[in-house]
Structure 1
C-alpha cells in the first residue's frame, strides 16, 4: 500500500519565514497570517519591524532573532518558537537574503567579480537554507508533515543583469531544492522553490531605476511588474493541501516574462 501523509490547512500550520520582518519577507508573513497560520518572524537586525507585526497579530505572530548562517542560533530560534506555540514548526520559507542591492549599474561585472561576493551569497542563500531545513526536520517528523519553500530568481533563465554572485547562489539553491525533495519525499516533506524577477517594490529593489521597471513591464505579458503581495500569495500554494503532490518544482512568478 502506498504511504500517505496528512496535509494540514494553512490555518493549522506553524510557519517560519526567514528575513520576515521587512521587504518581501513581510509580505510573505502577512500572507500566512491572513490565512490564519501561526508565523515565526525571523529577523537579524529589523527588531522594531518584527515587533510591530507581532503587536498587530499578538495571538499568531512570534518574532525571533537569528542569523540563519549560524546553526546554534537557528536551533535556539526553533526551540523558542516551539515553546511559544507549544508545537513544532511545520513549514519553512527560506527568504533571508545576504546584503544585496538590486541595481545592475552598481554590481560587480565579470572583470572585477570577487569570489568573496559569490561566497557571501552562497553562505546566506544555501547554507542558511540548509541550516533551517536540518533544524526543522525533527519537528516535521514529529508532526508527520513538512513544507519547505525556497525563494529563487528568474535570472538564471533570463540573466539580463550581471548579478553573478546572487544568481549563482540561487541556482545552487534550486539544485539543493530538488535533491532535498527526492531525499525527504518518503517522509511526507515537500521541498519547492518560488522564483521571481524584479518586484515593485521591496527594500532591495528600491534602488532600481524607473527605466528598468518600465522595460520589464513592457516585455511582460501582463504589462506590469509583479508586486511582492502577488509573489507572496504564490508561496501559499506550496504550503497548502492543494500542493500535497507537488515537490522538487520551481514556480516562476513574474507575470509571464520567463517561460520555464
Structure 2
C-alpha cells in the first residue's frame, strides 16, 4: 500500500482495542484515516493504541455494540471529536469466544444460549452499528460497511457450531444490506478469514492445528492479522467503488469459491 494513504475519512473499527481489531486500526491509520476505536473491556490497550496514533487522528471509546444506546453515543463521540461523520465501518467486534477445538461444545451438548450469544454479538451488534452509521453516510453521499466473517461455514475444519452459524447469518445480512443500501451509495461487503496467527481469540489454539491448516494451504502458512487487514482496506478504498454484497475469503487459499 502507498504511504500516501487511500482513506482520509473517519473510520470506526469495532472491537478495535486488541487482536485483529488493533491490526485493522493500525492499517487504516497508516493509510491516512482518522480512526474511532471501539472497545468493550480492553480499555488500557485501546487507549494506548489511540495515543500511539495521535489524539487528532484516533479516539478510543467504550461501547458494547449489543447496546443500541451505547452505539449511538459512540457515533456521537466520533463526530464531535473528528468534526465529521464516520464514513467507513468495520464490524469486527466478537462475542466472547476461544478458538480451542478441544474445549468446544460438541453437537450433543451445545446449548441454544451459546448460539444466542454469538448471534447477539455478531448480528445484533453489526445491525446496531450499521443503523447508527446510516445518517452520517447519507449525509456524506455514501459510505462503506465491511463485516468480518469466517471461512468456517464453507470449510468447517473445526466445527464451532455457534460461532460459525453467527457468521453465516452475518453474510446474509451483508447481502441484504447491500441490496437495500446500494441506491444510497453505501457499499456493504464481508472479508472472511481462516485461523489467524495469532490473535487473542486464537491464542488457545494448539500449535498442531496451526501447522495442519498451514500445510493445507497453497501458501503453506497461516495468514497474519496484518495481511488480513490489507484486504479490508480494499473495501474502504476507491478501488472497490463498484463492489458490494461480496464475501472475500482471505485464508491463504484454503477455501476456494
Normalized against structure 2, the TM-score is what? 0.97
Q: Which residue of 2 aligns with 1:115?
A: 112
Correspondences of 1:79-228 after superposition (within 5 Å): 79-228=76-225
Secondary structure (helix, strand or coil) at the match of 1:149 reads strand
Which 5+ residue runs of structure 2 have no aligned equivalent?
Answer: none
Distance in 2, matches of 1:156 and 1:31, equals 27
* SS at structure 1 position matched to 2:171: helix
CA deviation after TM superposition for structure 1 residue 53, in Å:
1.2
* Alignment partners' CA distance in 2, 1:185 and 1:203: 35
Q: CA deviation at 1:162?
A: 1.8
CA offset at residue 57 of structure 1? Answer: 1.3
Structure-2 separation of matches of 1:11 and 1:95:
18
What SS does the aligned partner of 2:190 have?
Answer: strand
* In 2: Cα distance, 1:84 partner to 1:216 partner: 43
**Alpha-carbon contact 2:64-2:71 (below 8 Å) kept:** yes
Contact (CA 8 Å) 2:7, 2:236: kept in 1 or not? Answer: no
Alignment check: 8 A CA contact 1:108 1:162 kept: no
User: Counterparts in 2 of 1:238-253, with a 5 A limit?
Assistant: 238-253=235-250
Match for residue 31 of structure 1? 27
Q: Deviations over 1:103-153 (max 9, x none)?
A: 111000000010000000000000000000000000000001210000000
Report the Cα offset of residue 94 of structure 1: 0.2
Q: C-alpha distance in 2, partners of 1:158/1:56?
A: 38
Residue ranges of structure 1 left out of the alignment (5+ in a row): 1-8
In 1, the alpha carbon distance for the partners of 2:30 and 2:185 equals: 25
* Structure 1 stretches of at least 4 aligned residues deviating more than 6 Å after TM superposition: none
Q: How many residues align?
A: 252
What is the aligned partner in structure 1 of residue 16 from structure 2? 20
Q: State how far apart, in whole Å, the 2-side matches of 1:85 and 1:190 are.
A: 22
Q: What's the secondary structure of 2:7's corresponding residue?
A: helix
Once the two structures are TM-superposed, the CA of residue 13 in structure 1 deviates from its matched residue by 1.4
